[in-house]
Amino acid sequence: MSATQRLELRQGQSLTMTPQLLQSIKLLQLSHAELVAYVEAELERNPLLQEAEGGAFPRSPARQAPNARRGGGIGSAPRPLPVPKGPSSGGSVRTGGGDSELKPELEATLARAASLTEHLEAQLDLAGADREIRQVGEHLIHSLDESGYLTEDLADIAGRLAVSTETVEAALRLIQGFDPPGVGARNLAECLALQLRERDRLDPAMETLLGRLDLVARHDFAALRRLCGVDAEDLADMLAELRRLEPKPGLAFAAASVDVLVPDALVRAAPGGGFTVELNPDTLPRILLDRTYHAQVVQSVKSDKDKVFLSECLQNAHWLTRSLDQRARTILKVATEIVTRQEAFFREGVAALRPLTLKAVAEAIGMHESTVSRVAANKAIGSARGVFPMKSFFAAAAGEGGHSSEAVRYRIRQLVEAEAPDAVLSDDAIAQKLKGEGMEIARRTVAKYREILRIPSSADRRRRAKHRLKTP
């Protein structure tokens, strides 16, 4: 019995990721310090590039066109974009210009070891996960703190990315399997458990021990022996094994992190109300294509090898200047849309932060969600209220009433800090107070946010308050 073979001709479209396209994507997500190092390396490598004294993207007066907030328009340089005045815009916002003290030191432009983010991204590229998991995983990697912990709630991340919580959990499990062991943990117990699992030492007794680290801190060894079902010698061995683990796996890469948060975009009060967004001139690379030098050199080049080298230098110089221009325009578009939607935050503070997703911003400015995610990573917005990471403006909705989870957590912290020693608020009481302020939040949600904020329970706060009152 012979199989029938048939030859078919099909026509389709596919996107080819050229090296330059891949590099443009990487360029978009670089932080200010990383971009400086990259441009410095290109200036050394390409003789047709030169550093311009005035800057490649000069600042210009704000335009008050009604549709200007959607982007920088067509032109040789991105301009400051005014944010239209909202129905209740008011107040004044002042921000200073670029501070020369924020310019990177020489060491920032030298060769360095890979950062934790770069180390994890390299593993994510090789993981072979599907496209959605990779995109969520990239966002999670950029959300880790310097110790390698994920401090954000998974439901909030899912709401921000407009994906299911199961997808976020799957991406987190993928990252938790990366090196260094323990990275991506949400708390100390999970961090230690990941390392023990990697060593095949996570038995039931050890799981019980990790679940009661509070007893370890109090040195209540009798209770631990009873709960774990082990004798004193076994418990001592288990505790010794815990001490050999790394509680902060990300700190091994901390030397590559940048402590100074430099704003990529600045928010100013517009004369007619609302706010104007402009790029920070101190973060704009100042490079130009030296056409005069190219004209001189091209006449003296004789060998084919030199001609190929000069042609590649010219092509790379054109690509880099265009890519930097596009990067600046994209950052300005995203920052302007964020300020437009979070205008109340710049007037009133964290309590007025509204729910916002990457998808909403992407649809408004006509870009892909992954592009907005890359822009939000490692970028910051400066205003009179301070300098804030761009990704902090993306917050999931909490309950009903259109309040963001960040605003609700901020209000919970305020209520706890203002409570009297003899009138400690329970989670249910906090939920009722929030309901009276228009925040329809369930008691279990209050408990979850309180734990995220590392606020003790009402019983613990009450005991501490009584202890303070008794202490002379």
Q: What CATH number is attached to the domain comprising 419?
A: 1.10.10
Position 8 in a domain: no
Residue 191: its pLDDT value, please?
A: 95
Residue 112: its pLDDT value, please?
A: 53
CA distances from residue 164 to 139, 159, 441 in whole angstroms, order as listed: 14, 8, 20
How far apart (Å, rounded) are the C-alpha atoms in residues 373 and 361? 10
Residues ≥6 apart with Cβ < 8 Å to 148? 116, 180, 182, 183, 184, 185, 191, 248, 249, 250, 251
Position 447 in a domain: yes
Residue ending a domain, among 256, 283, 302, is 256
Are 147 and 217 within one domain?
Answer: yes
Residue 206: its pLDDT value, please?
A: 93
Residue 55's domain spans which residues?
A: 19-60+75-95+261-389
Position 104 in a domain: no
Give just the sign of the alpha carbon dihedral 174, 166, 129, 356.
Answer: negative
Are 131 and 225 within one domain?
Answer: yes
Are 358 and 283 within one domain?
Answer: yes
How far apart (Å, rounded) are the C-alpha atoms in residues 56 and 453? 43
> β-pairing, 265-269 with 380-383?
parallel
Are 373 and 411 within one domain?
Answer: no
Could you report the average pLDDT of every consecutive run of 10 residues in the chain (472 residues)? 60 55 75 84 86 50 31 34 41 34 38 77 87 91 90 87 92 93 94 92 92 89 92 90 91 63 88 87 83 82 84 87 89 92 87 86 89 86 89 77 79 88 87 85 86 85 74 56
Position 79 in a domain: yes
Position 13 in a domain: no
Position 11 in a domain: no
Position 70 in a domain: no
Are 153 and 192 within one domain?
Answer: yes
Residue 249: its pLDDT value, please?
A: 92
Are 276 and 235 within one domain?
Answer: no
The owner of tokens 């963001």 is 404
Are 206 and 279 within one domain?
Answer: no
Are 127 and 239 within one domain?
Answer: yes
Dump the DSSP string for 159-213. Answer: HHHTS-HHHHHHHHHHHHTSSSTTTT-SSHHHHHHHHHHHTT---HHHHHHHHTH
Residue pair 163/176 in contact (Cβ under 8 Å)? The answer is no
Residue pair 27/323 in contact (Cβ under 8 Å)? The answer is yes
Residue ending a domain, among 256, 281, 302, is 256
Helix (H) or strand (E) holding 466: helix 458-470
Residue 84: its pLDDT value, please?
A: 43
Are 134 and 148 within one domain?
Answer: yes
Residue 65: its pLDDT value, please?
A: 29
Are 290 and 325 within one domain?
Answer: yes
Number of domains making up the chain: 3
Are 167 and 241 within one domain?
Answer: yes
